[in-house]
Structure 1
Amino acid sequence: MPESPLKPPHTPAVSPRPSACPGLWRIVAARDGGICRIKLPGGLLLAEQAEAVAEAAERFAGGVIEATNRANLQIRGIGDHHLALVGHLLDVGLGPREAAGDDVRNLMLSPLAGVDPAMLIDIRPLAGQILHLLETTPRLHELSAKFAVQLDAGESLAMLAHPHDLWLSALLLDRQVWLAFGLAGCPGDGATLGAVPLEQGVALVQAVLERFLDLATPEQTRMRQLLQTCPVQDFVEGLGLPIRRDSAVRQWRRVPATPRWLGVLAQREGSAFGVAPPLGRLTPAMLRGLARLAREAGDGSLRLTPWQSLVLPNFDPSLLAQAQAETKALGMINDVLQPLARISACTGSSGCAKGQSDTKADAQVIAGLLHHGAPASVHLSGCPRSCAVAHVAPATLLARAPGRYDLYFRDARLPGFGRLRASDLTPEEAGAMLDLPTEHLDD
């Protein structure tokens, strides 16, 4: 098959900075080859796009595909054919044809945006407007590739723990939908700074991002850094928008939910089906199998989730048994009771020069010892950066040497990973300590 011609004027290259944030156009070097991150609009991946990603991973890389914790995909182990890889992905609409417009497409939605039973509104039209703003406004291309925005419509399947530079959350005021917002936090625990009518959502995003660029120094690439020198009230008052800040707004808090992202999921009409690749790693065969299933039993689309899983929306419930059998045969997780559903891990030393241990292999050992607990309650991190999880897990195993870990339990009163529970554990010792119900992790 001939290689796809590359139409844009930009030439992708491997970034020389090991800590650079990968993108579609910025292929970052790692121990196991280049990494290309595909930023999906609201996590949406069409079946034909999934097949194109599978083909790209086979043709231009080592066949390793990862679901990320911000509902994107990345291809690992990329060789020298960068132009062909990017062109292949652009041909199926997996990114803008301007490199600068790709970096800033960091907008996270619920995996069930538009169909979740608990949603106040279908937030997808507003999300499309915000993405268009980010992609087509040259001034906003000055933002860091890590600068992130969250848009929440009150869905029950929503990640409320990931911190974002700007978050917006729908709420009802006087029987009308407004958008509450906060900075450098998340709807689950962040302070509500104000609210604007729904129709002012795009204007609010633009005002916040442009004010950030006006005030931030070159070293202040994230909102939390700017707010260390700029009082938050000064920032809000300078937005130039009529912002509602009465007690009804300031005292509002997003009602937390207990999200479930595996198995049969409720929709406003019908149902969805959630599956996860073990430890976030997809093979081309898995992705092709899910694309086929999306066509046969769904609406031809997949949605990535912040839990490194995928959802097939508008799923035919009569085909549930078939879907369960097919995804199990592909090696995927579709049941919260499976031990691997409880654990996540970064790339580790097999693919990252900073990793102190082979976290993926060690996670498999630990998972075999786990029989209790909630999904994604244990995380293995190869170094203190903890790239593979955007919030603190209930239990974190931090690698200190090959096959040796320190165990931390989350504690809101303590910074970082929380409270140190045990040091220098083998994977077997850690698994034995962690095989207990999640509610006991804080004991």
Structure 2
Amino acid sequence: MAEPLSARIPAAPIRPSACPGLLRIVPALDGGICRIKLPGGVITAQQALAVADAAEQFAGGVIEATNRGNLQIRGIGQDHQGLIATLLDAGLGPRNPASDDVRNLMLSPTAGIDPQQLFDARPLAARMLDTLENHPRFHELSPKFALSLDAGEGLAMLDHPHDLWLSALDIEGQTWLGFGLAGCPGTDSPLAAVPVEAGHDLMVAVLELFLDHARPDQARMRHLLQNLPLEALLDLLAQRLPHTLRIGRTITTSRRKPTKPSAHIGTYPQRQPALISIGGVVPLGRLTPSMLRNAARLAVERGDGTLVMTPWQSLMLRNVSRENASLVLDSLQAAGLLCDADQALSHIIACTGSAACGKGLADTKADALQLAEYLQQQGVTQAVHLSGCNRSCAAAHAAPITLLAVSAGQYDLYFRRVDQPGFGELRERDLTIEAVGALLTADSRSNTDD
């Protein structure tokens, strides 16, 4: 009989880190946190059931959808090893335990089936993830070191910053991979481009260069670039690559159209005309075991047996027959997911807040529900991020509107501005949720009235 994965649990954490992983459960006010990294955001229905069972058996039943398309279990009790063993036996951990921290490659949730893609990114992504798992030196990377790959899909997160991003480009009728460092494809022009078949070698060369030149205290690419000029790094990279490196200034291509803000909500077309994907937002990023079980059941009955977690803190069922669209939408909505972009709550995100985080200055989840109810009554939808402190854990990029807690129930209000760093322009200080709702309602109407 084959040895179960749970028999190979390391006796100690792989390396010191404040970031949770599957093999490293970190403490919070409400108990331990375990992060389950999903390849391309994909989890099978059977694995989803295992997560739901584990959240009930070993924790308080709180499952979180993260902004990188992963899952977290919160409120974990004393039996850490029991939880870890259950998840490993469900196939939710790394094949190489030392690699759990570094499997940080984000894809489009519609990779391989998106009508706008320039190529199927999944084979390249699988090869990249395999190398991250099995290249021992890459296990030295910080758990926060992040990569993204998109193939030009219409549904792709282009605003999250990454240490290395790769994005498909159509250059003179040929598909290339543009790439950038310490930025994102939504706002940054590519530094250079390589043929698609060179994408894996590019990743390896960039990561090896980083590890060769970064000091131990330089955990992210932006830290290295403070000391190593970008031009010098590109020169070093060109020396390592056996492929053509097309420098950014020689690239002539049209700017990518940004993803429609609500494209992940409801139905989304696929390359196959008879099939669609259907997405539902996880309310404030929190799933109950019942919600996850119902979604898994639907995936088996009406989809392809898998769920995809998205960077918008939502989930999708793919390969759903068009004739079953209404049934699946109604079923997801009945399960507690938000499948209509007109629902105010579907556009609001919030960190865990003071209820479960020692750094949180306000109960952001409760305040977000109050704000959503007010906006819904006013017929207003606004993309709002409530953050209990300035670490901005719930949002990887600046949201159009940010509420930064200053005390219980009180927030500073920011509006995103491309010419201002951080959360953007400080509009008002020390507002109650009622005052925020009134101001956002007035702002929404002033922006739409002639």
Q: Under TM normalisation by the shorter chain, which class is it? A: over 0.9
Moved more, 140-149 or 169-178: 169-178
* Separation in structure 1 between the aligned mates of residue 386 and residue 140 of structure 2, nearest angstrom: 33
Q: Does 1:50 align with 2:51?
A: no
Deviation at 1:281, TM superposition (A): 0.3
Moved more, 311-320 or 354-363: 311-320
Match of 1:262 in 2: 265
* Separation in structure 2 between the aligned mates of residue 431 and residue 357 of structure 1, nearest angstrom: 17
Q: Does 1:275 align with 2:287?
A: no
1:271-420 matches, cutoff 5 A: 271-371=276-376, 372=379, 377-420=383-426
1:225-279 Cα deviation digits (max 9, x unpaired): 1111111111111012231126442766433232411111111112110011210
* Separation in structure 2 between the aligned mates of residue 334 and residue 68 of structure 1, nearest angstrom: 18
* Separation in structure 2 between the aligned mates of residue 331 and residue 396 of structure 1, nearest angstrom: 25
* Separation in structure 2 between the aligned mates of residue 41 and residue 315 of structure 1, nearest angstrom: 21
Give yes or no for contact 2:52–2:61 (8 Å, CA) kept in 1.
yes
Distance change in 2, residues 1:113/1:424 (3 Å):
same
Distance change in 2, residues 1:257/1:342 (3 Å):
closer
Q: Does 1:74 align with 2:79?
A: no
* Separation in structure 2 between the aligned mates of residue 15 and residue 211 of structure 1, nearest angstrom: 22
Deviation at 1:373, TM superposition (A): 5.3
Unaligned runs of 5+ in 1: none
1:203-225 Cα deviation digits (max 9, x unpaired): 10000000000110111100011
- How many aligned residue pairs are there? 435
Give yes or no for contact 1:192–1:250 (8 Å, CA) kept in 2.
no
Give yes or no for contact 1:180–1:249 (8 Å, CA) kept in 2.
no
* Separation in structure 2 between the aligned mates of residue 46 and residue 390 of structure 1, nearest angstrom: 26
**TM-score of the superposed pair, with normalisation by structure 2:** 0.93
Deviation at 1:41, TM superposition (A): 0.1
Q: What value does the CA root-mean-square deviation take over the aligned residues?
A: 1.9
Deviation at 1:303, TM superposition (A): 0.5
SS at match of 1:286: helix
SS at match of 2:25: strand
Question: Percent identity among equivalent residues?
Answer: 56
* Separation in structure 2 between the aligned mates of residue 322 and residue 274 of structure 1, nearest angstrom: 13
Match of 2:203 in 1: 205
Q: Does 1:437 align with 2:447?
A: no
* Separation in structure 2 between the aligned mates of residue 13 and residue 314 of structure 1, nearest angstrom: 39
Match of 2:192 in 1: 194
Q: Which amino acid in the other structure matches residue 122 of structure 1?
A: D
Distance change in 2, residues 1:184/1:250 (3 Å):
farther
Moved more, 244-253 or 324-333: 244-253
Deviation at 1:193, TM superposition (A): 1.0
Match of 1:134 in 2: 132
* Separation in structure 1 between the aligned mates of residue 281 and residue 216 of structure 2, nearest angstrom: 39
Match of 1:243 in 2: 245
Flag as ranges the 4+ runs of structure 1 deviating above 4 A. 12-17, 372-375
Q: Which amino acid in the other structure matches residue 222 of structure 2?
A: R
Q: Which amino acid in the other structure matches residue 437 of structure 1?
A: S
Deviation at 1:369, TM superposition (A): 1.2
Deviation at 1:95, TM superposition (A): 1.5
* Separation in structure 2 between the aligned mates of residue 153 and residue 75 of structure 1, nearest angstrom: 31
* Separation in structure 1 between the aligned mates of residue 204 and residue 41 of structure 2, nearest angstrom: 22
Q: Which amino acid in the other structure matches residue 101 of structure 1?
A: S
Distance change in 2, residues 1:183/1:361 (3 Å):
same
Moved more, 138-147 or 329-338: 329-338
Q: Which has the higher helix share?
A: 2
* Separation in structure 2 between the aligned mates of residue 182 and residue 136 of structure 1, nearest angstrom: 24
* Separation in structure 2 between the aligned mates of residue 137 and residue 107 of structure 1, nearest angstrom: 15
Moved more, 78-87 or 199-208: 78-87
Distance change in 2, residues 1:439/1:103 (3 Å):
farther
